[in-house]
Amino acid sequence: MRDLTAGVRYLGRGQRWAVGHGRWFGFGLLPAVVTLVLYAGALTALAFFADDVAIWATPFADEWDEFWQESLRIVFAVLFWIASLFVSILTFTAVTLLVGDPFYEKLSEQVEESEGGCPPGTDRPLWLELWTSLRDSLYVLWRMLLFTVPLFFLGFLPVVGQTVIPALGFAVSGFFLAVELSSVAMQRRGIPVRERMRILRTRKTLALGFGVPLVLMFLVPLVAVLLMPGAVAGAAMLVRDLTGEAGEERDAHEPTADGPRTPDPAQPGEDPRSSASYW
């Protein structure tokens, strides 16, 4: 429960940071607006063709009674569109991060500087950073589909398919959304995508507290655009928690009986960053 509320808190802190830094808020809106236009067109077209997809996917129902045939295909079309919406929520973030990689990298750096210092990047060329982001996003999408495809078919179960399964779908989407958003700050630290997922799995409730509210709010297209800069900012703060850097800052500023605590000075010849670990 504590991690769950901490995840929500990081989401709120990120939004406050973005609103309080108007220049960076506007900077982070541009890629989200471009991606929104593309996705709105795709989902609208999908809504028009969902019936045709349902007919194509259920040829075995051609000889059924008309009532049962129509019922099955309506349920299939609705579930197919909802599943596409869940996938679009994650891919919206992935595509927006890919389109706006230079934008969000700078925004994330500014957040970390304001939180106590930004770790040095990997110093790789932009094309390699974009290729790495694309490859990682495809890996995350594949892992998400391993969960969402079975959930899609379980959605046909009576009662459970209309109650429990959608809730599980929101949880799955929220976790993977947190993975995508944290990728900006984690990639800067040189943490590979499989390790990012392992780290977030050890703090699942933290990731869900951050990601699930965003999934619910991202269902409203314009809200998704407005929240994107703050979501990246909040994810940078969350990564500092996951890597132990946020804890080190709290310890450094926590008052003691003798007054405010000051960080221990680095030993001669020691890199001050050497004690920070992302484990």
207-217 per-position pLDDT tens digit: 999 999 998 88
Its pTM stands at 0.70
* Rounded Cα distance, 88 and 81, in Å: 10
Q: Are strands 255-256 and 259-260 parallel, antiparallel or unpaired?
A: antiparallel
* Rounded Cα distance, 34 and 20, in Å: 23
Name the nearest CA neighbour of 152 among 221, 212, 75, 61.
75
179-232 per-position pLDDT tens digit: 989 988 888 888 888 898 899 999 999 999 999 999 888 877 678 888 989 999
How many angstroms separate the Cα of 209 from the Cα of each of 70, 89, 244?
Answer: 39, 17, 18
248 has a pLDDT exceeding 60: no
100-123 per-position pLDDT tens digit: 888 888 898 899 988 877 777 666
Residue 247 CB neighbours (<10 A)? 11
What is the domain partition of the chain in residue ranges?
2-250
10 Å CB burial of residue 89 (0-12, 13-18, 19+) is: buried
- Residue 265 pLDDT: 39
User: How far out from the chain centre does Cα 157 lie?
Assistant: 29
Burial readout 165-184 (b: 16 or more C-beta within 10 A, e: otherwise): beebbbbbbbbbbbbbbbbb
Tokens of 110: 């500014």
Residues contacting residue 161 through CB under 8 Å, at least 6 positions apart: 154, 155
- Residue 139 pLDDT: 84
Residue 137 CB neighbours (<10 A)? 21
Mean pLDDT of 257-269: 38
Residue 100 CB neighbours (<10 A)? 25
36-67 per-position pLDDT tens digit: 888 888 888 888 888 888 888 888 877 788 78
- Residue 148 pLDDT: 80
- Residue 16 pLDDT: 94
User: How far out from the chain centre does Cα 73 lie?
Assistant: 32
Tokens of 75: 């349920």
165-175 per-position pLDDT tens digit: 888 988 998 99
What does pLDDT average to over the chain?
79
Burial readout 32-47 (b: 16 or more C-beta within 10 A, e: otherwise): beebbeebeeeeeebe
Contact of 166 with 152, CB cutoff 8 Å: no
List residues bridging with 255 in a β-sheet. Answer: 260
- Residue 9 pLDDT: 93
